[in-house]
Structure 1
Amino acid sequence: MSYRFIELSVTDQVAWLTMNRPDVHNAFDDHMIAELLDALAAVDRNDDVRVLVLRSNGNNFSAGADLSWMRSMADKNYDENVADATELSRLMQRLDELSKPSIALVQGAAFGGAVGLAACCDVALAEAGASFCLSEVKIGLIPAVISPYVMRAMGTRQARRYMLSAERFDASVAQQFGLVHEVVDNLDQAAERLIKQFLGNSPAAVSAAKQLIKDLDQQPLDEQTRRTTIERIAEIRVSDEGQEGLSAFLEKRTPNWKQG
């Protein structure tokens, strides 16, 4: 697929996925969602990619849903709206379940669905001037599709306030609530530091750890959960990268997945 509203490039095992509609503050519509879905699928399939960075061009990360797109949805019937929302839901799920670690770089405003994108990434970094808003109730809607991811990131208590009030909150508050991991002066420098950290780790182990987190999230600490963790560590220990990592550690050498 050729892209109109996003850019995708791969450099040194890092996929840079950039939302590129600065004229509308990177608001997304059905076309941009389709492009993002395609790009994420390509990243997941590409064995040369070990980290994804999600970012945007312009002054703002994303204003959320495009106004023209929302107007068109108002003219659609229930079934058409279900089909439309399904694609946005698929986007959130695909980003959330990506097999490679993901980093969101947030500048300026992140409104509505853009908060969901940040919540779906493994790490979210924000500039000090960034701001966030779950603004849907202001126009008679609800942040339904993104709500599971936002509530998981912020916690139910804080989500109740900001999903109901539609208050705007700054990056420091977002960090306090867990939506953002770090507030930084320079997004690119902070991203490079994290990328270096990710690239130093076993690709197979990182992917397995992501799957483990997904499978255990919100599960009771019962016998089945314990059994799952026992089996997962046994599987990774006998894998090729598990064997290489242990050997490298014991032999005091660099494992073969590290660059340089």
Structure 2
Amino acid sequence: MPSLPTCDTLLLKLETGVLHITLNRPDSRNAMSLAMVAELRAVLAAARDDRSLRALVLRGAGGHFCAGGDIKDMASARSAGAAAYRELNRAFGSLLEEAQCVPQVLIAVLEGAVLGGGFGLACVSDIAIAGADAKFGLPETSLGVIPAQIAPFVVKRIGLTQTRRLALTAARFNGAEAERLGLVHFSEADEHAIERRLDETLEQIRQCAPGANAATKALLLASDSEPLDALLDQAAEQFAAAVTGDEGSEGTLAFVQKRAPNWAQ
């Protein structure tokens, strides 16, 4: 695996093909500082091309996922004017784009505060597991600002109608409601249930070929923007390459031999 960057705001743990990334600013409920954004982007870049990594698990330290943007960074940018605010804001949007497109399965474990930027990170995950008592919300308008970089990702996750309601009221809601909205896939009663669900999800991911998962994820994301005819032509080419490639050959042989494929052993 490519060497991971040294981080001051993140804890990194590599375990059986899974990279656990923990936002580690518990004193601020893991508020998203510019330094944290830069470190997350560097970690994602280092992990991107490593096919031995099957999944990335993103969570927060100290009982909270992420309480949004760092007010201290915003205050520091004030003296530099609008250009500094644009840079600060757009850097987070770039992080969301990059997180959404990593070839590995991105799992978000959401506890405590999941606000603003944390809400945005939840929306770009492939699989989201929340505590039933987690606190979700888009508080930006209650602070006199807008969810500028987050909004497009929220709309794609839960739809325009619900996003309008939540963004224009700054309403707070729990993990059970987040599951009802389709923001998260699972709402679990307590920490033990969250860990069981995470372990079960990782075991399911390990049954899937990593190359096939990466190509499938890219295809699903492209389906949101590519013309259908061109997308299906491209998908047919990818299918032919997959079925005749190493993973496809191994998968079909394993099926015939009634054994687990090599990636699931």
The TM-score, its normalising length taken from structure 2, stands at 0.93
Residue 217 (str. 1) matches residue 252 (str. 2): no
How far, CA to CA, are the matches of 1:17 and 1:59 in structure 2?
Answer: 15
2:261 to 238, 248, 255: 255
Contact 1:19 1:56 in 2 (8 A): yes
Unaligned runs of 5+ in 2: none
Measured after TM superposition, the shift of residue 219 of structure 1 is 4.4
Number of aligned pairs?
A: 258
Question: Partner letter of residue 192 of structure 1?
Answer: D
Runs of 4+ in structure 1 over 3 Å off: none
Deviations 1:33-78 (A, max 9, x none): 1111111112223332111100111121111111111212333323
Residue 239 (str. 1) matches residue 250 (str. 2): no
Question: Partner letter of residue 213 of structure 1?
Answer: L
Q: Match of 2:6, SS? A: coil
Identify the residue that residue 122 of structure 1 maps to in structure 2: 126
2:186 to 182, 186, 202: 182
Pairwise CA RMSD: 1.4
Deviations 1:184-237 (A, max 9, x none): 1322111110000001110110000011011112545x4323323322222211
Unaligned runs of 5+ in 1: none
The TM-score, its normalising length taken from structure 1, stands at 0.95
Matched ranges for 1:143-222 at <5 A: 143-185=147-189, 186-219=193-226, 222=228
How far, CA to CA, are the matches of 1:150 and 1:191 in structure 2?
Answer: 23
Contact 1:155 1:177 in 2 (8 A): no
Query: What percentage of residue pairs aligned between the two structures are identical?
Result: 34
Measured after TM superposition, the shift of residue 80 of structure 1 is 2.3
Deviations 1:80-104 (A, max 9, x none): 2222222111111111001100110
Question: Partner letter of residue 231 of structure 1?
Answer: E
Q: Match of 2:264, SS? A: coil
Q: Match of 1:257, SS? A: helix
Q: Match of 1:80, SS? A: helix
Measured after TM superposition, the shift of residue 124 of structure 1 is 0.5
Residue 69 (str. 1) matches residue 111 (str. 2): no
